[in-house]
């Protein structure tokens, strides 16, 4: 089609032969240049030490290069080792890291698995950098968790009740095969005077392996059921002690006897046994892990990150608070004080969490730390008016729950807790929606925890880059 409009010239034959230097094309404040400056300055000695005892084969890729590549990939939402390897051949920012040394996907995958714990250790290093740049103020902390899918299929799972039936069926099959083997041996002995039977042992071995796997899964469920029964027993004893202290009698029906056996519908997964069925945000259920974080208000820096296989958040409040204080101390970030005097006492840091974290033990445990907990005691219904502001001090005989409810109804308590969502919820959005993190790639609670730490430390790197470098 002939056109009278003048267009800019396009010469693809020349472009495909034209060399491109990342420093000439990418902006000076690009994330990749920031990481190329920062990562080599971090403490990578533990990773380098791994290769000191390995003398076989060709020299490995430089640890700083591989660490920078992995951190940049997680920053920009490229998590698959195959996609990272492909980007090293096609993406200019990735080429700025690896140059002509382009590791394949297996090398990248192995590096992530080998150094997963070492990479998690960089979390404190990055937190120290954020503290030195003044991005951690400790004026208000928020605690929350999110569910992320495990690297496990729902089709590779089995309930306890089905296991019992399957175990009996397999044992019956093994018994039948043993009888068939005996008949075959007798026939072959009569005909040939020697035993052959090459096929039957394989059948027996396959079923024996399946029986061993099911028995191991049943033992895991039985152990979990015993732990749950013990926790329920302690909760009943605590409730009984509270009633006796208050002089009240139990109401309602007599509680049922605690059963230590697993429920017939209790499931476990054969792909990743440590993953658990959890309710997801789409109202469905899937095998997940529960990622927990504590976030500082000023620039949404994550100061603590843990992963648990428990869907309930109640057991995570005190461990996360303790991890927060340990990380701050390791990063050299001082806790706020009541005054500028050197000997002034530490000022408790406000820590807010939703009602999923509330229990009297949690509030008591958080109060014993240099923290000022603001934990919701229940869920408010929509379109209901807020209760009136509380004034003064709660009654002396008030319970822990009543004291916390009173604190959250005061003007200061209400303002503190109102910031919880805007502190921690956007962080999950930035991880899941902006960077596309929806599923863990590794398996096992320990490796998944390291991967979660890697995701959280790259979140902090992005915050440092955006707030201190990209905006200066």
Q: What is the pTM for the complete model shown?
A: 0.79
Parts of the chain with a pLDDT under 50: 195-200
Q: What is the pLDDT of residue 390?
A: 77
Q: Are 47 and 118 in contact (CB under 8 A)?
A: yes
pLDDT value, residue 200: 47
Q: How far is CA 32 from CA 22, 179, 301, 430, in A?
A: 10, 67, 20, 19
The neighbouring-strand residues paired with 267 are 159
Identify the H or E element spanning 287: strand 285-296
Q: Are 55 and 65 within 8 A, CB to CB? A: no
- Going by C-beta distance under 8 Å and a sequence separation of 6 or more, which residues neighbour residue 451? 116, 440, 441, 442
* Torsion, CA 78, CA 81, CA 82, CA 83, rounded to 10: 10
Specify burial of residue 345 (Cβ count, 10 A radius: 0-12, 13-18, 19+): exposed
Closest CA to 301 of 122, 131, 120: 131
| 8 Å CB contact between 213 and 270 | yes
Q: How many whole angstroms separate alpha carbon 267 and alpha carbon 158?
A: 5
Contact 226, 260 (CB under 8 A): yes
Helix then strand then coil, in percent of the chain rounded to 5, is 55, 10, 35
For residue range 87-114, list pLDDT tens digits in order.
999 999 999 999 888 999 999 999 998 8
Among candidate residues 279, 276, 309, 404, the one with its CA nearest the CA of residue 352:
404
pLDDT at 385: 74
* Whole-number pLDDT of residue 197: 46
Please, what is the end-to-end C-alpha distance for the chain in angstroms?
Answer: 50
Task: Write down the domain spans for the chain.
Answer: 12-114, 122-152+273-470, 156-269
DSSP class of residue 470? I
Q: What's residue 166's pLDDT?
A: 60
Angle at 175 between CA 174 and CA 179, to 5 degrees: 115
Place of tokens 């027996």: 204
Contact 359, 231 (CB under 8 A): no
pLDDT for residue 285: 81
Task: Answer yes or no: are the C-beta atoms of 302 and 460 closer than 8 Å.
Answer: yes
- Can you read off the two tokens belonging to residue 371? 């923290």
């Amino acid at each position: 089609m002939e056109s009278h409009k003048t267009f800019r010239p396009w010469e693809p034959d020349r472009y495909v032969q034209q060399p491109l230097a990342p420093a000439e094309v990418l902006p000076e404040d690009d994330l990749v240049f920031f990481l190329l400056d920062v990562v080599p300055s971090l403490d990578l000695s533990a990773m380098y030490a791994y290769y000191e005892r390995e003398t076989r084969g060709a020299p490995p890729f430089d640890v700083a290069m591989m660490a920078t590549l992995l951190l940049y990939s997680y920053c920009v939402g490229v998590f698959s080792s195959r996609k990272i390897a492909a980007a090293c051949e096609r993406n200019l920012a990735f080429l700025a890291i690896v140059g002509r040394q382009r590791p394949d996907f297996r090398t990248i995958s192995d590096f992530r698995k080998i150094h997963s714990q070492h990479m998690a250790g960089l979390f404190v290093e990055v937190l120290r950098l954020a503290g030195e740049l003044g991005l951690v103020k400790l004026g208000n902390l928020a605690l929350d968790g999110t569910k992320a899918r495990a690297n496990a299929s729902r089709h590779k799972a089995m309930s306890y009740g089905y296991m019992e039936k399957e175990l009996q069926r397999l044992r019956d099959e093994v018994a039948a095969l043993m009888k068939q083997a005996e008949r075959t041996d007798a026939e072959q002995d009569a005909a040939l005077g020697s035993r052959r039977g090459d096929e039957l042992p394989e059948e027996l071995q396959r079923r024996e392996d399946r029986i061993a796997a099911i028995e191991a899964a049943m033992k895991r469920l039985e152990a979990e059921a015993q732990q749950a029964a013990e926790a329920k027993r302690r909760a009943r004893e605590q409730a009984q002690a509270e009633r006796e202290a208050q002089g009240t009698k139990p109401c309602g029906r007599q509680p049922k006897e605690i059963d230590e056996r697993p429920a017939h519908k209790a499931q476990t997964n054969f792909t990743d046994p440590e993953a658990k069925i959890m309710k997801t945000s789409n109202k469905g259920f899937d095998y997940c892990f529960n990622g927990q974080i504590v976030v500082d208000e000023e620039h949404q820096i994550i100061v603590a990150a843990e992963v648990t296989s428990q869907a309930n958040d109640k057991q995570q409040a005190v461990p996360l608070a303790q991890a927060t204080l340990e990380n701050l101390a390791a990063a050299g970030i001082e806790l706020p004080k009541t005054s500028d005097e050197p000997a002034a006492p530490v000022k408790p840091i406000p820590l807010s969490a939703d009602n999923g974290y509330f229990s009297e033990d949690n509030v008591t445990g958080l109060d014993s730390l240099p923290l000022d907990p603001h934990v919701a005691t229940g869920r408010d219904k929509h379109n209901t008016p807020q209760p009136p502001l509380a004034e003064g001090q709660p009654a002396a005989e008030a319970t822990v729950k009543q004291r916390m409810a009173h604190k959250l109804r005061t003007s200061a308590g209400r303002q503190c807790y109102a910031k919880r969502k805007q502190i921690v919820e956007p962080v999950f959005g930035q991880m899941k929606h902006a960077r596309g993190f929806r599923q863990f790639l590794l398996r096992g609670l320990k490796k998944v925890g390291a991967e979660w730490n890697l995701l959280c430390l790259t979140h902090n790197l992005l915050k440092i880059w955006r707030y201190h470098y990209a905006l200066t």
